[in-house]
Amino acid sequence: MAESSPLKVWLDRDGALLRLRLARPKANICDAAMIAALQAALDAHRGHAALRGALLDAEGSHFSFGASVEEHLAERCAGMLASLHALILTMVEFPKPILVAVRGQCLGGGLEIAMGGGPIFATPDAQLGQPEMKLGVFAPAASCLLPWRVNQSAAEDLLWSGRSVSGTQAQAIGLVHALADDPEAAALAYFDEHLAPKSAAALACAVAAVRAPRVRELRERLAEVERLYLDTLMKTHDANEGLAAFLARRQPHWEHR
């Protein structure tokens, strides 16, 4: 793979495990190039008959600081949302479990991508959150995905406050499956014990069986929140002010309109 690629992709465990590693530390920004690379890797391996799972992790001290703020600007956000939401649908519909290992910060679009997978393994001191509200916008995909992972009250708290929670706190509300000082090793151990010995054909059916209703719901809900974001939110003063203020490294001036 070219060194300039934002993603490292390889097969592990004699072809049973697809490895995906975000490879632009320290931020591992989930920009258009990263989203495209993830989409291409999943598309290329979707039909691999012997595959029993995938593991998504990241180089460096942080999983991801989130999506590119520049790509959230009014003239670019439609394309960004379309590609991100297509990727999340691909992840949710992927025929084998996608395990996710998180260290450090896992924020914004980075957490949305993590939630597109299956069980999340995280360090106790990892920081997971959806800080979009601090920029005067909201998190479209997380608005659909978080209520699947946690209860409605906890989802609303994270989405409205924009605060982050530790890995320990995230496990307590159901966002994180397991805590480990080495989450990649913990995810690999889970794969070796619970997935590798299974029939790949049976796993594919099990994934489809448990997720089919939510896939149908997610497809509809992502379209709804995308329209809300583009047709309503991005026509407000405050959304554009918040993004501009972030890029200019100044405090936003909200006009509440």
Percent of the chain with pLDDT over 70: 99
pLDDT of 2: 43
Domain that holds residue 35: 1-183+199-257
**Confidence tier at 76 by pLDDT (50, 70, 90):** confident
**pTM attached to this predicted model:** 0.96
Across the range 218-230, mean pLDDT stands at 97
- Beta carbons of 126 and 170 less than 8 angstroms apart: yes
pLDDT of 3: 53
Across the range 77-103, mean pLDDT stands at 97
Shortest CA distance to 184 belongs to which of 91, 59, 84? 59
The answer to whether residue 256 scores a pLDDT higher than 80 is: yes
pLDDT of 1: 41
Q: Give the count of domains, the chain.
A: 1
Across the range 47-56, mean pLDDT stands at 97
Residue at 192 is within a domain: no
Separation CA 209–CA 44 (nearest Å): 23
CATH number at residue 53: 3.90.226.10
Residue at 153 is within a domain: yes
Element of type H or E holding 161? helix 152-161
Separation CA 187–CA 102 (nearest Å): 10
**Confidence tier at 207 by pLDDT (50, 70, 90):** very high
Residue at 27 is within a domain: yes
